[in-house]
Structure 1
Amino acid sequence: MTAVHSGTAHEAHCGSSAARSDIAAVLWNSSVPPEGFADDCTHRYRASVLEQYKVYVESADRASARRSTANTFFLTMNGVLLTVFGAVATSQTHAPVSSVVCVAIAALCQCLVWWMYVASFRKLASGKWAVVAELELRLPALAFSSAEWGTALPGRRYMPLTTMEQWVPAVFAALHVATACTLLIR
């Protein structure tokens, strides 16, 4: 370790040397030693696997971005629907029962579709990261499959984002039902 990397500042940023050695133990793929890159055929094969790996990691990242965009759309739609319900609730006029029921049904259907999107993206992400883990077996480092997911996260009470996301449509559905009931009782 150089003087730049010694001391408490580096350890505070990167963790203790014991934690780094734990990560190193699961990061490097022992079935792909450096001498395996010696001949030209092996080099081309490894370059091909690396390129496929990069493309697939990018594909998994784009799927996460699409999930985020879909969540933004559904969150906006639910916000608009709750705003409409709130405007009707604070107005002096009573909304027709059929209108309240139709808007509530539309809101609940939209929440169901949102929940299905979250479930679909969860399955898609699981499949993509399983393929990334399999591709890593052909690479010198197991950055995602062992080092990050296997070492860094289990001790931190990590809850996957999609687990939390699945509750958001249910919460909005409950808000829509409560708001509609309030409007109908009023």
Structure 2
Amino acid sequence: MNDAYAVPPHVSLGPTLETERLILRPPAVEDFPRWADFMADPETARFIGGVQSAPQVWRTLCAVAGMWALTGEGMFSILEKSTGLWIGRIGPLHPYGWPGREVGWSLHRDAAGKGYAVEAAAATLDYAFDALGWDDVIHCIAPDNQASAAVATRLGSRNRGPGLLPDPLQDDVIDLWGQTRAEWAVNRLGLA
């Protein structure tokens, strides 16, 4: 990374959430190297817009931080509590033109299969419904993304059918999964 982007004193863009094994916080400059590695992996990136170069990842990281600054919501960085390692990102977010308020997730390949996505999503759903006051949450999932569909199912979300994303993602094929606040109140109990 360019030395001109030395880590400044951390400015809080939003809350920090903690679970048993994870820390969820707004993105920071120090997340960039792992985020760039994550987006350089074709298998990891295939359901989230495809491989990106380091300059593209930098702009995405800045846009995500900007979303927090402008709207008070955006993607959290997911850190493994025991190591401090950046392992992924998770919303609450509602970009302009999006089909609903989303809790969306994507994890670094080396964090897959450990239950982190469900753990982070449960904390983020709690935050979206309790702190942000949302009444409904969606997850935009490609029909062949079996791992994310399994996470959504574990959370109690159901497939609501095909959805449309705004430009430049209008050609992406997605299903809208989701649940209401009332459904989450019941489904949350099943995760304990």
> TM-score, normalization: structure 2?
0.19
Between 1 and 2, higher relative CO (CA 8 Å, sep ≥ 6) is seen in: 1
Per residue, is there more strand in 1 or in 2?
Answer: 2
TM-score by length of 1: 0.19
